[in-house]
Structures are given as structure tokens and as C-alpha cells.
């Protein structure tokens, strides 16, 4: 484990379901990120949080709702998703917003929307 843990690893949900993805880091990092990775757009940035404050929402549909209750935890709440939302969702953290020491990624949640 690299210090960034994501759960669940796999998730299958219907279009009317509500589910949440969880990310946890104990690296003492101050910034956390959600990325969507699909065949069409690898590593597409969704949200950026710094010290629990959202600093960027990269034009993500409102059916994706992030939450950062503290600097160690990041959630992505999902509701009424579409099949095209099926992808690998990666959480990452970095020491600071500039990511000058690189990002540490979690293993991802493989999401399938049916």
C-alpha cells in the first residue's frame, strides 16, 4: 500500500442508485484529488481539495458530488449515473497543491453503471 486507500475496489450500480466512493490517506498530505480514468480520456481531473476546501471543480456533472470532511478523507457521492460514467475513479494526494513532489495515487474504484 502506498498510503492512499480507496474503497470499494469494484462497484456495480444501477442508474437510479446512490453510492459513495471513499478515499483515505495518512501521508500528512494537504491536497487530495479525484480523477476519472477511461479509455477515451485518460486521467481526467474532476475535483481538487486543499485543506478540506474545494479549489477546483472541473466542469463535472452534478450527479458527482465530492465531500472532504477532513484532510485525510475524501468522498465521491454518486447518484443517477449514466452508463458512460463507467470508468476507473482514482483518488490521489499530494504534499501541497502544486504537486511538486508528485502525486500518490490510490488503487482506484472500478465503477460499472448498468
Partner 1 sequence: GENVEQHPSTLSVQEGDSAVIKCTYSDSASNYFPWYKQELGKRPQLIIDIRSNVGEKKDQRIAVTLNKTAKHFSLHITETQPEDSAVYFCAATHFGNEKLTFGTGTRLTIIP
Distance CA(61)–CA(46), nearest Å, equals 10
Task: Give the three-class secondary structure for 53.
Answer: strand
Residue with smaller CB distance to partner 1, 15 or 51: 51
Instruction: Give the nearest distance from C-beta 111 to partner 1 in angstroms.
Output: 15
Instruction: Give the nearest distance from C-beta 33 to partner 1 in angstroms.
Output: 7
Residues making contact with partner 1 (CB under 8 A): 2, 4, 33, 42-43, 45, 48, 50, 55-56, 90, 97-100, 102-108
Residue with smaller CB distance to partner 1, 18 or 54: 54
Instruction: Give the nearest distance from C-beta 99 to partner 1 in angstroms.
Output: 5
Residue with smaller CB distance to partner 1, 15 or 43: 43
Residue with smaller CB distance to partner 1, 62 or 98: 98
Peptide bond into 90 cis (omega under 30): no
Residues in CB range of 19: below 8 A, 6 or more apart:
11, 13, 77, 78, 79
Contact 103, 3 (CB under 8 A): no
Amino acid at each position: 500500500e502506498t498510503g492512499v486507500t480507496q474503497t470499494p475496489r469494484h462497484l456495480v450500480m444501477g442508474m437510479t442508485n446512490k453510492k459513495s466512493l471513499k478515499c483515505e490517506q495518512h501521508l500528512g498530505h494537504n491536497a487530495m484529488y479525484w480523477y476519472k480514468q477511461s479509455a477515451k480520456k485518460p486521467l481526467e481531473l474532476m475535483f481538487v481539495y486543499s485543506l478540506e476546501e474545494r479549489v477546483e471543480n472541473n466542469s463535472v456533472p452534478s450527479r458527482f458530488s465530492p465531500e472532504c470532511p477532513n484532510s485525510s478523507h475524501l468522498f465521491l457521492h454518486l447518484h443517477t449515473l449514466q452508463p458512460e460514467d463507467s470508468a476507473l475513479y482514482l483518488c490521489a494526494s499530494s504534499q501541497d497543491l502544486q504537486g511538486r513532489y508528485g502525486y500518490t495515487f490510490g488503487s482506484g474504484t472500478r465503477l460499472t453503471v448498468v
